[in-house]
Each structure stands twice: as C-alpha cells, then as structure tokens.
Structure 1
C-alpha cells in the first residue's frame, strides 16, 4: 500500500516508530498537510493506484472518499455508543449512560462524565461539574455561538456517573485479531507500557467474538472495582500509539490490505 500521513499527526509520541517501520521495509509513504473540513491535501499526492491507507485526523475522511482509496480509513463513526451498548451491554464502562442532545442534557449528580455518542471527536470526553457543564452547554446553544466546529445544540452526547478506574489499556485489532496492545494510564497518570496482563487480552478476545464495530479498529478497556470494562472504540487510523508495537501493526496492515 501507499501510506498517506498527516503532517501534524507525526508530532505525536510513537510516530517516529511508524516512519521507521515504513522505511525499514521499503513501504511507500508521503506526508501532507490537511485543509480542515474540505480535506484537501497539500501537496496533493500523485498515485498510480488506489490501494492507500491514511494515518492522521478525521479531517482525512473527505480525501479518502473523493479519491476512493482502499482501505483508506477503517471508519467506526456509524457504530456509536448506543449500537455498542446493544451488543456489549453491561461489559461497557458507561453502560448506564443517559443519551441526550447537548441542548436537552441535564446532570443528575454534581459531577458526570460527558462525551459524544460516536467516534466523532467533536470534543474529548471528560468529567464536568454541573456548573462547568452548564456554562459549556450555554456556550454551544446560544444563538451567536461560534460554529467553526461541528459541535451544535443537537449533537448527541452521553452522560454517565463517575466510576473508579485503576488502569486503562488499548488493543489494536486487525481482521478481528489482536495485533498489539499498550497500557496507557495507571492510577489516572499517563504510563505507556507494552506489557499487559493476559486477562485483559482474554476479555477483548471474548468481546470481539461477540461483536465488532469493524474488522479493524482499536478498543480501550479498563480495570475497575466491578471488573474489566470497555471504555470505547476508535478508528485505528486516528488513534494514539502509546507503547504499541508499531512495526508489528504496520506489517499486519500490509499483509491484510495490500492489493
């Protein structure tokens, strides 16, 4: 495949390992700036085929669609929280979330976790106090609100009670198989590490045998007082690497999707 990489994406931790792997195995790649919303690439790639994979932000979606690249992005945007909850049920950390529009959302406790229901990145999920959320809600719903982003009063969000999380882990799934994994947060602190207890991999394998939002994606799970839970799923092309074995991931993607 040819790999299209977003320039700003390469500044994140772990991206040097991606470049190193591509160069080590002589895999074609190019680096581009991406025009927000339109998705135009600067410079425009000159390619002789459409077997292209992209790594970067969600702003690459228009370029993938316009150029009919395959596999392009392993998009899970349509497989939102409510769809995941239908399949995974109480295995999800925020199973008891209330889903609402931004406009109609209301807190039931002093502090709650709030995030979009889908993998849109309209905003990053985080904990709000009731006062903070009220101010944020008003800033979006007032008539003169800034509309430079896609976040709007009708955007669907989920609100969940707070849960104690001991540690969080990310697993990279390619063709329904775990390829690599990483601890990324321990005791609330960023702690990237590749070594992960087998019980978390076993849990992930059970869940992906049950249902998957895509054959290739990332899934975050966490350790809680109530056991292992699913935090969320994300588009693999747009997800941070942490301490993943990036070379192993590159080779797995090449084997699975090169035409």
Structure 2
C-alpha cells in the first residue's frame, strides 16, 4: 500500500515558472499539493497549513527547510550534521575543495590581512543552509565584506564558520539530482567559465555522476554539483533537495521520481 504524499510548496519569494512546474508535476505524479507562505524573520508559516498525514515534501527557500525540521515533515531530505563541508571532506576524497582552511568569519577577516590584496579566493559557509552563497573574490573584498558584519549588514556574524580555498580552474559545472542514490537528471550551469544551462544528454556524463553518487552521500536524496578539473571530475558540493533550484532540468521527471520514492516508504 502506498504512503500518501503531499508536496508543501512555497509560493512566495520563489521564481514563479519553476514553482508552477513543480506544482503541476506533483499533481501529475498523484501527490497532493499544499501551498505555504514563508514570512521573513518569523518562525511561523504565513498561512494556515492543516495537519497532513503521510509524507510531506517541502520545496522552497532554505527558511522552509528550517521550518520543516521543526514540524518533522518526513519528506525533508536534510541532516544538519551531514550537510557540512567538513563532513563531506571527512567521508570523501574527491571533493573539489578537499584541502581548505576552516575558520570563523572573524578569523577569516584577520587571515586575509596576510594575503595579497588582489589574490583570489573561494569562500563559503561550512553549513549547507547557507548564510551566503559560495563566491570567488579577492582578499581585499573579503576583508571589507566581512568587517561589515560588525555593523549588522549581513545575516551571519563573526562566529559563523566558513571555508577558504584557492581558486581552481573549472572546465565545466553540472548539477545532478540524486533520488534514493540514483542519478535522475542533470544540467550544466557553467561551461568554460560562462553561464550555460543545457540538459545533460551524454550517457558517459551520467555514468560519471552515478559513480560519484555511489560514494558517501549526506542523504540518499540530494543535489550534487560536479566540476571537470585538470585532475578529472570532482564534487563541488552537495545541496538539500528541498531548497535547490533547477537549471535546464527535467523538473517533471525529478518530481515524479521523488514522489514515487516517498510513496513507497512505510
């Protein structure tokens, strides 16, 4: 007997076209759909959501992931201890940023004082529910940006853990959706440094992605970003499925696979 599945989809502050496609795909897959509103700076949903039986799959911004944790929704594919850069590096030896400096924002600001002002670095939070997106910038800008934390300009503070790594040359970057350990769909999002979203069509690229997904995963259902480097394919990072965006992905195929997976859970 299948388990009832409901998609709880955030309908505010999210790209409308993607949300419409997720909503329609969930209905086509036989799931119920419940709209949810996320209110900034609040720990409550902005609309009345009735008790939902079975599996509830949240889809929206990272704030919805946090709210879903509090509600115990079983379709949340997130483990705080596993979706961290240090956990990935501990369990795998094929991460793009395998050898990084991990420190607090305050320590990072001080460390950049010793680096050439124009030296380029990659910096991102250690945790997955990001206080800010990973970015490449110069030491001078990192110092300026992180010193402004003291004036309350950002949603993180001096104790927020970040990683800092040298910039690497990436020939291509792809995002793959993994459902119960199986790669379901992929899209490029940057090729040779240029933004380019194309559906993955090459079977050998899916084989490579699956071989990477056969290793340790922070959750059996997740999003895996992959890069081609001078040393071969590396995993850039993992993201929580419930708050990951799409590029040129087959949204309908992904939503159907996730719905089918949870419908068969006891």
Is the TM value for this pair above 0.5?
Answer: yes
Q: Residues 45-80 of structure 1: CA distance to partner in whole angstroms, max 9, x if unpaired? A: 124415211000121134323432212x21143221
In 1, Cα distance between the equivalents of 2:250 and 2:77?
19
What is the match of residue 252 of structure 1? 257
Question: Is contact 1:164–1:224 with CA below 8 Å preserved after alignment?
Answer: yes
How much has 1:177 moved relative to structure 2?
0.7
Aligned to 1:75: 78
Mapped contact 2:91–2:216 kept (Cα < 8 A): yes
Match of 2:188, SS state, is: strand
Residue 63 (structure 1) aligned to one of 50, 62, 67: 67
Contact residue 7 and residue 32 of structure 2 kept, 8 A: yes
- Where do residues 135-214 of structure 1 align in structure 2 (5 Å cutoff)? 135-140=144-149, 142=150, 145-146=151-152, 149=155, 151-214=156-219
Name the counterpart of 1:220: 225
Equivalent position SS for 2:130: coil
Summarize the Cα distance change of 1:202–1:25 in structure 2 as closer, same or farther, 3 Å threshold: closer
More moved, 163-172 vs 14-23: 14-23
Alpha-carbon distance in structure 1 between the residues aligned to 2:208 and 2:123: 25
Q: 2:18 aligns with which of 14, 19, 30?
A: 14
Any stretches of 5+ residues in structure 2 without a counterpart?
Answer: none
Tell me the equivalent position of 2:101: 98
Q: CA deviation at 1:146?
A: 1.2
SS in 1 for 2:106: coil
- Out of 90, 94, 102, the residue aligned to residue 86 of structure 1 is 90
Structure 1 residue runs without a partner (length 5+): none
* Residue 175 of structure 1, CA deviation: 0.7
RMSD of Structure 2 on Structure 1 (CA): 2.0
Contact map agreement 1:117 1:158 (CA 8 A) in 2: yes
Does the alignment pair 1:52 with 2:61?
no
Q: Tell me the secondary structure at the aligned position of residue 185 of structure 2.
A: strand
In structure 1, C-alpha distance between the alignment counterparts of 2:13 and 2:195, rounded to whole Å: 19
Partner in structure 1 of residue 121 of structure 2: 112
With structure 2 as the length reference, what TM-score do the two structures score? 0.87
Structure 1 residue 201: Cα displacement = 2.5
SS of the counterpart of 2:252? helix
Match of 1:24 among 9, 22, 28: 28
User: Partners of 2:66 and 2:239 in 1: how far apart?
Assistant: 18
Closer, same or farther: CA 5–199 of 1 in aligned 2, 3 Å: same
Equivalent pair of 1:2/1:27 in contact (CA under 8 Å): yes
Is contact 2:29–2:255 with CA below 8 Å preserved after alignment? no
